[in-house]
Amino acid sequence: MERRPIYVALVHYPVLNRHGDLIASAITNLDIHDIARLARTYDLLAYYLVTPLVDQQVLARRLIMHWTDGVGGDINPDRQEALGLLRIADSIDEACKEITLETGSRPLVYATTAREWPASLAWSELRREIGRHYDSILLLFGTAFGLDKSVLRGVDGVLSPIEGKRRYNHLSVRSAVAIALDRLLGGN
């Protein structure tokens, strides 16, 4: 394979709410558009929307169809191209299985968090790792108040908070994905 396959997943379950309870968050139209355009810009293979809620999956599929098959695609072919990267998965594990089928090996899974996490990985380290030609990589981003610890414990690595040394660290997940992809793949 010429180029290392990179995937991103926006996770709506299992995530935390403001009080630290486990929830399934709702999908957001703007997240879908902004992250699809980022995924296309940085040449990712796909952008997974992870939600086990069937009504949310139906909503997402309607939105994708509007922009890929419907009038939206005719009016705005750039959106069509970006939204074409979107895939829906019931769970992180289902996304991993699909990637395994597609690439022939299980992806390395890296999670992001705005909180401190022991032995977290620097962005520059993962950028170097990406430069080597091995397995595919799946990058996880949590919606709401972030990924549940059960996810962080089960992955191959957890990245350091984006601006962890600063006092204020409350970026939208859209901003976090933008900065993350640029740190890993951008600039040159």
- Whichever of 40 and 115 has its CB closer to a second copy, that residue is 40
Backbone angles phi, psi at 108, to 5 degrees: -75, 130
Query: What minimum distance in Å lies between the beta carbon of 18 and a second copy?
Result: 9
For residue 59, give both structure tokens.
Answer: 């909503």
Distance of CA 2 to the CA centre of its chain: 22
Q: In this complex, which beta carbon is closest to a second copy, that of residue 131 or of residue 187? A: 187
Q: Which is nearer to a second copy, 16 or 89 (CB)?
A: 16
Place of tokens 């414990």: 153
Q: Which residues bind a second copy (CB under 8 A)?
A: 30, 33-34, 37-38, 40-43, 78, 81-82, 123, 162-163, 166, 168-172, 174-176, 178-179, 182-183, 186-187
Nearer CB in complex with a second copy: 31/135? 31
Report in angstroms how near the CB of residue 34 gets to a second copy at its nearest: 5
Give min distance, CB of 17 to a second copy, in A: 13
Cβ-contact 85, 40 below 8 angstroms: yes
- Shortest distance, CB of residue 16 to a second copy, whole angstroms? 15
Neighbours of 100 (CB within 10 A): 14
| Strand boundaries in 38-184, DSSP class E | 46-50, 86-89, 108-111, 137-142, 157-158
- Residues 157/130, Cβ–Cβ less than 8 Å: no
